[in-house]
Amino acid sequence: MTLSDRTCVITGASRGIGRGIAEQLGAEGANVVVNYHYSSEAANRVVDVIEDLGGSAIACQADVTDREQVDRMRDETHEAFGRPAVLVNNAGITQDTKFETMTREEWDRVIDVTLGGTFNCTQTFFPDIKHAEEGRLVNISSVIGKQGNYGQANYAAAKSGLFGLTRSLALELAPHGATANCVAPGYTETDMVEGVRDDILDRLKEQIPLKRFASVEEIACVVRFLASEEASYISGEVLDVNGAMDL
């Protein structure tokens, strides 16, 4: 499943699942654009890892909620590597609170980053994906978008919105031979769970038939497959990677 010389843009790629995706695609020979918002140091470490693996990469700062910054990221991508063939919309945030006490600002911020940022990046890079040979769009959602979760109404709404967006874009990209798919991970071993108490983590694992969290690499492998030529007849799908917790 080589991605040799294909240019891939990954948003929110300085840590967590985004970092794992960037490193896996880089290891397969892709030219990787490591998008980040705040942490240039972390993003540059990802670039170093990819280059050590024999790939090529650049770190590119852009707030995905700001269309001008996203446009600048596109220009920097074109200058460094030419038109990208793969866009992975991974950037997202949480601001958890019960719905009855949730402020409109907390609602809007999560929607704006997770769903609005995907809109901005996809529309900006849409001509590139559409005209690429084997163009690929991959949106990163969550099992929470399917199940909901206490205190995460904003996050669940944003992640669920990616399902319908992905399926609509798959229809618009199909005439051009490009695909759009969505990956919905379950609980994953990232720095977001490092501060959670052990007893809470144990209760969460009990909800998962496989009794463990996913590794970042297990999520990244699915994205790597969807970005490859081998996935050319898969489009408009939501791929669950959750240890059977949604059955």
Beta strand ranges found along 26-89 (DSSP E): 31-36, 56-61, 86-89
pTM of the model: 0.96
Query: Which helix H or strand E contains 202, and what residues bound it?
Result: helix 198-206
Query: pLDDT for 125-143, tens place per residue?
Result: 999 999 999 999 999 999 9
Residue 61 contacts residue 84 (beta carbons within 8 Å): no
DSSP per position, 178-197 = -EEEEEEE-SB-STTSTTS-
Contacts of 95 (CB under 8 A, 6+ apart): 106, 109, 110, 154, 155
User: Can you list the domains of the chain with their CATH numbers?
Assistant: 7-241 (3.40.50.720)
Catalytic residue at 155? yes
Q: Is there a contact between 24 and 49 (Cβ–Cβ < 8 Å)?
A: no
The SS3 assignment for 127 reads helix
Per annotation, catalytic residue among 36, 38, 150, 155: 155
Residue 1 in this model has a pLDDT that exceeds 70:
no
Q: What are the pLDDT digits (tens) for 98-121? A: 999 999 999 999 999 999 999 999
State pLDDT tens for residues 158-214: 999 999 999 999 999 999 999 999 999 999 998 777 767 888 889 989 999 999 999
Distances, alpha carbon 10 to alpha carbons 16, 94, 105, 140, 153, in Å: 12, 19, 26, 10, 26
Question: Where do we find the tokens 């985004």?
Answer: 18
d(CA 217, CA 17): 8
Q: What distance in Å separates the CA atoms of residue 86 and residue 126, rounded to the nearest whole number?
A: 10
Distance CA 239, CA 95 (A): 25
| Share of the chain residues as helix, strand and coil, in percent rounded to the nearest 5 | 50, 15, 35
